[in-house]
Amino acid sequence: MTAKLAPALLSTLGGRYYTSAEVFAAEQEHIFEAMWFCAARSADLADPGRFKKVQVGRESVLLVRGRDGVLRAFLNVCRHRGAQLCVEGEGEVKRTLRCPYHSWTYALDGRLVAAPNIGTLTDDEGAPIDRYRYGLVPVALTEWLGYAWVCLADTPPPFEDVMAETARTLGDPEAVDRYGIGALDVGHRVVYDVAANWKLIVENFMECYHCSTIHPELVGVLPEFARGVAAQANIGLGAQFGSGVAGFTVDGGAGFDRLPGISEEQDRRYYAITVKPTVFLNLVPDHVIFHRMYPVAPDRTVVECDWLYTGDVVGSARDVSNSVELFHRVNLQDFEACERTQPAMSSRAYRDGGVLVPAEHHLAEFHSWVVSRLAAAL
Amino acid sequence: MTAKLAPALLSTLGGRYYTSAEVFAAEQEHIFEAMWFCAARSADLADPGRFKKVQVGRESVLLVRGRDGVLRAFLNVCRHRGAQLCVEGEGEVKRTLRCPYHSWTYALDGRLVAAPNIGTLTDDEGAPIDRYRYGLVPVALTEWLGYAWVCLADTPPPFEDVMAETARTLGDPEAVDRYGIGALDVGHRVVYDVAANWKLIVENFMECYHCSTIHPELVGVLPEFARGVAAQANIGLGAQFGSGVAGFTVDGGAGFDRLPGISEEQDRRYYAITVKPTVFLNLVPDHVIFHRMYPVAPDRTVVECDWLYTGDVVGSARDVSNSVELFHRVNLQDFEACERTQPAMSSRAYRDGGVLVPAEHHLAEFHSWVVSRLAAAL
Amino acid sequence: MTAKLAPALLSTLGGRYYTSAEVFAAEQEHIFEAMWFCAARSADLADPGRFKKVQVGRESVLLVRGRDGVLRAFLNVCRHRGAQLCVEGEGEVKRTLRCPYHSWTYALDGRLVAAPNIGTLTDDEGAPIDRYRYGLVPVALTEWLGYAWVCLADTPPPFEDVMAETARTLGDPEAVDRYGIGALDVGHRVVYDVAANWKLIVENFMECYHCSTIHPELVGVLPEFARGVAAQANIGLGAQFGSGVAGFTVDGGAGFDRLPGISEEQDRRYYAITVKPTVFLNLVPDHVIFHRMYPVAPDRTVVECDWLYTGDVVGSARDVSNSVELFHRVNLQDFEACERTQPAMSSRAYRDGGVLVPAEHHLAEFHSWVVSRLAAAL
């Protein structure tokens, strides 16, 4: 064999990618505000007039369901003197959003519909003031998998690319669709405040070399994870439940009926997909675990995690704690590892990064992707 | 009519004026430390030896009343090794200010009067050390309206300009004098810590377009404020009490006897004046409400508000709560609006600012003034 | 006498040396990370497998005692993906340090000894992975006076220079050795969190002009300190106990038997030495007080102070509170003075610094030394 061996150890990103305010600012502009960003579960905004405030990159975004049933997003800023329309996390209005400072009032589609004295105002050509021009600044919004994805770019990239990339990861364009995620209900939600850079959380999610060390319960259900090979490195294969395992639960006991649409080969398997930049999908036969990250600072990320079940399970108030507990423990174990890693990112020992073993080599693609997104800015 | 209409909507300052550390640093240097800054109520320093520490721009300033009855201001820094002479907010000494670190001791006029071993010290010419040269660094101080105004500029501008500008705003050079503000007593004081840029607080004070939305009690007393036209836009006119209103109180009930010096046309009227950069004067027949701002950070301002009454009212401990409550509510309503506006200043929606309706057009002068003060620095 | 008099007042460093983030960064690189830094009491790491985490400049350093009895230091960073090996302040392991993220495992001498799958790994030449190359990054360590001193420089300066400088200060190469500090035991330890720049603490320690003002108990024991002349200005002389003073205690009462090795002339005397950059030594006949500073920010320094006695005193649990209380009060008095000084460092009054009286003139050497260390960076 004359061919040179592939290197066993690849380099990671250098430490400053995880600590620098400049890098984080570039990520906000060129990643979180430039890509489609998963902002909220659509069902949390089911009724007309229901609204929710979400931080997307550096912007406060207001999501609101119109009387016409359409979910829309706007910058959460009154066009007059800049007061935030929505200060509370969420709530409900009747027909309009009214700024509590000077009473400029907007329809749920963003149009300026009223303001004290505004009726007699004209622009400098003598024409009435354009109510769309002074309406709320719209933000692009698409619904997929039951979530609202927004994009702050002037020209948002095609959303189809997000879906195509996900399908490619699973190796089957219909694999995700079969879980019918959009129709599921939130059975449980936990919000984690993690003292680590968002990329450490992505990297942790993408590899399973750490599984045997920190995830005893998960390895109990998915014995092949003890081998340390990441599910995401094996396109479309997922990981098989252990022979004595009845369900994806903390003790391996039975879960719920399998989701109606999934295929035979999806049964008794766990699939993990990263939807860049900030979403993790975990697919198991009877439920879906959906992570959304909100990067707050170079060393802080809020992670909101939904456990999704059929309406039958949630509606009948069945006890989901056994399945919730499994991934809640995984989350805590992962986030502790990330928090333990964050401080070392500023050490001279990590100035040029650490190393990736072969079971982690696919992380290098993520690193390249980050570097290329930020190329213009750094 | 061929003349072009004046634009109905003018632009405000861009958002960075309210968030940038660079702008705030320029304001500290070219506004708060360059202009006359209202530092304290003189009566709080009535007795010889009484002292008070006040933050002016970036400097800690020590105000102290001398044995000769003169109020003086100094930088609050020992000339020896820099310990702060005064750490507590205020207090009283007998004849000297003694640094608690090495006992360098200053007369109340700032002269260095004693220090261990200093008696034998000579300068490099062999002459005794100059006790003024190593005295406390003096800060210019003028008293007006019963307050101590200090100026950190090397060459303070004429104080008469401050008085003339105030008179110009009221349209009558003697209008302010008639209230005899310097002779009034503090009946009540509230200190507010506001999470907003000081200019948002100025802008809020200068316009009344928001009054009908957030100030029900104030509009109850001054019905014309419901029209949303700022008192300060109408030079010298003030705003008239409603017909059924007996006094400037939270329920419109009677206040106290009108101040002895005021004119007939000043009766039953409310006047509001901004004395740039950080003072608001509110004049009503029986009392005066005096706001001083202390800008602490781009997004934080401490506001100290005094309710001033005649010595008769304060000395006889009459109940002032009905008149205090009115403007205390106005303050809370205004500061909440400012705090709601501050976060949007960093949004892309406010990058080029918001808009001013005609009732707010006079704010554009304030904006121009700020821009011109900072022109050299930005 | 025709020679010009030496100036009575010399200048100190300008205020920005005590406040600027840039100066502090330069100090971290060119002082704390470049010089020998006193990190821990060796006896706190007496047993094999005992480890402790210490912050040195910007680095987290892991000190660990090997099975071979040797104390070593490493950067506290796993070479794989950067998790901190040691998160707790201290603890004990058996034979290895195992990273809790992916189980990379290091011997106590730093060698990489195990990692999942690592046995089969080869480098890009096909050779086994070098276990030292991927071992923990070593940090230079020397033990002296019973403390572990570490140096993060690529080429540490000779440790002998530290010892020689200390001997020079005392004017006798054996003066320190006679106290047998390395063999003493810690009788008491206090950790102080001081809101002041580390250099203010050094300057305070180096002069005694402040003693008569703030240290009544210390002056009670060492009456000559009332004259305000610093012990450290008089090489090797120290300061003599007052005639009625039996020991270096808060009330002047008797201490313990004098340390066996000290000379007659060292009896009934107090010696103070600054071992740059961050150690203060206080030598009295029956014990030693040892300060270590950990500069955390321009305006914050953690000071750890050990009171060291013979094994007899500590082993028999004799009451050391009378001698501890004396210097604990001195510490509190000094640190309060430093905290009072820190805020004035940003005043325009201290832009060009304050002044040094003759009793403080030796501080100018410290200032020159700081300036020269930072010359390349500022």
Each residue's pLDDT tens digit, A120-149: 666 656 667 777 788 999 999 999 999 999
d(CA C71, CA C39): 12
Residue A26, Cβ neighbours under 10 Å: how many? 18
CA distance B305 to chain C (A): 27
Contact at CB, B100 and C15, closer than 8 angstroms: no
Nearest CA in chain A to B348: A59
pLDDT of residue C298: 98
Asked if the model's pLDDT at residue B123 lies above 70, the reply is no
What is the CB-side half-sphere exposure of residue B155 using CA atoms within 13 A? 0
CA distance B350 to chain A (A): 7
Picking from A66, A70, A72, the residue whose alpha carbon sits closest to that of residue A54 is: A72
d(CA A197, CA A344): 12
Phi, psi dihedral angles at B144 (to 5 degrees): -155, 135
Tokens coding C259? 């340390």
User: Which residues of chain A lie closer than 8 angstroms to C129, CB-CB?
Assistant: 8-9
Tokens coding B74? 């100094």
pLDDT of residue B3: 36
Q: How far apart are the first and last CA of chain B?
A: 41
Share of chain B above pLDDT 70, in %: 94
Altogether, the residues listed in chain A come to a count of: 378
Tell me which residue in A81, A103, A118 faces B354 most closely, judged by beta carbons. Answer: A81
pLDDT of residue A9: 86
Tokens coding C214? 């703030």
Contact at CB, C210 and B117, closer than 8 angstroms: no
Contact at CB, A357 and C123, closer than 8 angstroms: no
Burial class, B135, CB count within 10 angstroms (exposed 0-12 / middle 13-18 / buried 19+): middle
Contact at CB, A213 and C101, closer than 8 angstroms: yes
pLDDT of residue C169: 83
Task: For chain C, say whether B89 makes contact (Cβ under 8 Å).
Answer: no
Could you tell me which residues are beta bridge partners of residue A56? Answer: A59
Tell me which residue in B8, B209, B337 faces A83 most closely, judged by beta carbons. Answer: B337
DSSP secondary structure code for residue C28 in this structure:
I
d(CA A197, CA A282): 21
Contact at CB, C344 and B83, closer than 8 angstroms: yes
**Average of pLDDT values for A230-236?**
62
Tell me which residue in B75, B84, B116 faces C340 most closely, judged by beta carbons. Answer: B84
Please report, as a single letter, which amino acid is at residue C73: A
Domain ranges in chain C? 36-156, 163-368
Each residue's pLDDT tens digit, C5-15: 346 889 999 99
Phi, psi dihedral angles at B17 (to 5 degrees): -60, -20
d(CA C351, CA C361): 20
Contact at CB, B126 and C337, closer than 8 angstroms: no
C interface mutation test: which of A200, A345, A356, A357 has the most C CBs within 10 A? A357
Neighbours of chain B (3+ CB pairs under 8 A): A, C
C-alpha triplet C114, C119, C123: angle, nearest 5° = 110
pLDDT of residue C255: 96
Tell me which residue in C209, C345, C348 faces B102 most closely, judged by beta carbons. Answer: C209
Each residue's pLDDT tens digit, C21-57: 999 999 999 999 999 999 999 999 999 999 999 999 9
d(CA C102, CA A107): 54
Q: For tokens 């990370």, name the residue.
A: C33
Contact at CB, A344 and C129, closer than 8 angstroms: no
Task: For chain C, say whether A78 makes contact (Cβ under 8 Å).
Answer: no
Asked if the model's pLDDT at residue A189 lies above 60, the reply is yes
Which B residues in the span 328-347 are in contact with C, Cβ-Cβ below 8 Å? none
Q: Is B195 helix (H, G, I), strand (E, B) or coil?
A: coil
Nearest CA in chain B to A58: B347
B interface mutation test: which of A74, A77, A79, A118 has the most B CBs within 10 A? A77
pLDDT of residue C234: 66
Q: How confident is the model at residue C376 (pLDDT cuts 50, 70, 90)?
A: confident
CATH 2.102.10.10 applies to domain A36-156: yes
What is the CB-side half-sphere exposure of residue A148 using CA atoms within 13 A? 27
pLDDT of residue A170: 82
User: Which residues of chain C lie closer than 8 angstroms to A15, CB-CB?
Assistant: 82
How high is the mean pLDDT of chain A?
Answer: 93
Q: How confident is the model at residue A2 (pLDDT cuts 50, 70, 90)?
A: very low
Nearest CA in chain B to C350: B82
Helices (H), chain B: 21-27, 159-170, 198-206, 211-214, 216-221, 311-315, 321-341, 363-374
**Average of pLDDT values for B330-339?**
98
Tell me which residue in B213, B357, B359 faces A100 most closely, judged by beta carbons. Answer: B213
Picking from A324, C324, C344, A187, the residue whose alpha carbon sits closest to that of residue B101 is: C344
Contact at CB, B357 and A80, closer than 8 angstroms: yes
Tell me which residue in C83, C129, C134 faces A344 most closely, judged by beta carbons. Answer: C83
Using alpha carbons, list the distances in angstroms from residue C14 to A126, B81, C27: 61, 11, 15
CA distance A74 to chain B (A): 10
DSSP secondary structure code for residue B71 in this structure:
E
In contact, A45 and A148? CB cutoff 8 Å: yes
Each residue's pLDDT tens digit, A76-107: 999 999 999 998 889 999 999 999 999 999 99
pLDDT of residue A168: 86
Contact at CB, B340 and A87, closer than 8 angstroms: yes
d(CA C357, CA C362): 10
Q: Is C19 helix (H, G, I), strand (E, B) or coil?
A: coil
DSSP secondary structure code for residue A111 in this structure:
-
Tell me which residue in B12, B213, B346 faces A103 most closely, judged by beta carbons. Answer: B213
Using alpha carbons, list the distances in angstroms from residue A180 to A134, A235, A283: 39, 21, 11
**Average of pLDDT values for A331-351?**
97
B interface mutation test: which of C197, C204, C340, C352 has the most B CBs within 10 A? C340
Contact at CB, A126 and B358, closer than 8 angstroms: no
Each residue's pLDDT tens digit, C207-226: 999 999 999 999 999 999 98
Using alpha carbons, list the distances in angstroms from residue A42 to A64, A274, A312, C158, C280: 10, 20, 19, 66, 63
CA distance C82 to chain A (A): 6
In contact, A313 and A256? CB cutoff 8 Å: yes
User: Which residues of chain B lie closer than 8 angstroms to A123, CB-CB?
Assistant: 7-9
**Average of pLDDT values for C318-338?**
97
Picking from A11, A24, A135, the residue whose alpha carbon sits closest to that of residue A85 is: A135
pLDDT of residue B126: 66
A interface mutation test: which of B204, B205, B347 has the most A CBs within 10 A? B347
User: Which residues of chain B lie closer than 8 angstroms to A134, CB-CB?
Assistant: 9, 355
CA distance B298 to chain A (A): 16
Residue A45, Cβ neighbours under 10 Å: how many? 22
Asked if the model's pLDDT at residue A3 lies above 70, the reply is no
Nearest CA in chain C to B59: C347
Contact at CB, B6 and A79, closer than 8 angstroms: no
Lowest mean pLDDT across A297-301, B329-333, C156-160, C225-229: C225-229
Asked if the model's pLDDT at residue B264 lies above 90, the reply is yes
pLDDT of residue B1: 34
Q: For tokens 């680095």, name the residue.
A: C59
DSSP secondary structure code for residue C122 in this structure:
B
Nearest CA in chain C to A228: C116
Range among A202-216, B106-120, C104-118 rated most confident = A202-216
Task: For chain C, say whether B87 makes contact (Cβ under 8 Å).
Answer: yes
**Average of pLDDT values for C358-371?**
94
Q: Is-above-0.90 flag for pTM? A: yes
The dotted CATH code for C163-368 is: 3.90.380.10
Contact at CB, C103 and A213, closer than 8 angstroms: yes
DSSP characters for B29-46?
IIIITTS-EEEEEGGGG-
Nearest CA in chain B to C215: B101
d(CA C6, CA C148): 42
**Average of pLDDT values for C75-94?**
95
Q: For tokens 């506290």, name the residue.
A: C76
Tell me which residue in A58, A79, A123 faces B8 most closely, judged by beta carbons. Answer: A123
Task: For chain B, say whether A83 makes contact (Cβ under 8 Å).
Answer: yes
Task: For chain B, say whether C235 makes contact (Cβ under 8 Å).
Answer: no
Picking from C143, C146, C147, C142, the residue whose alpha carbon sits closest to that of residue C184 is: C146
pLDDT of residue C39: 98
Task: For chain C, say whether B59 makes contact (Cβ under 8 Å).
Answer: yes
d(CA A80, CA C227): 69
Which C residues in the span 7-46 are in contact with B, Cβ-Cβ below 8 Å? 7-9, 12, 15
pLDDT of residue A124: 59
Task: For chain B, say whether A100 makes contact (Cβ under 8 Å).
Answer: yes
Residue C158, Cβ neighbours under 10 Å: how many? 9
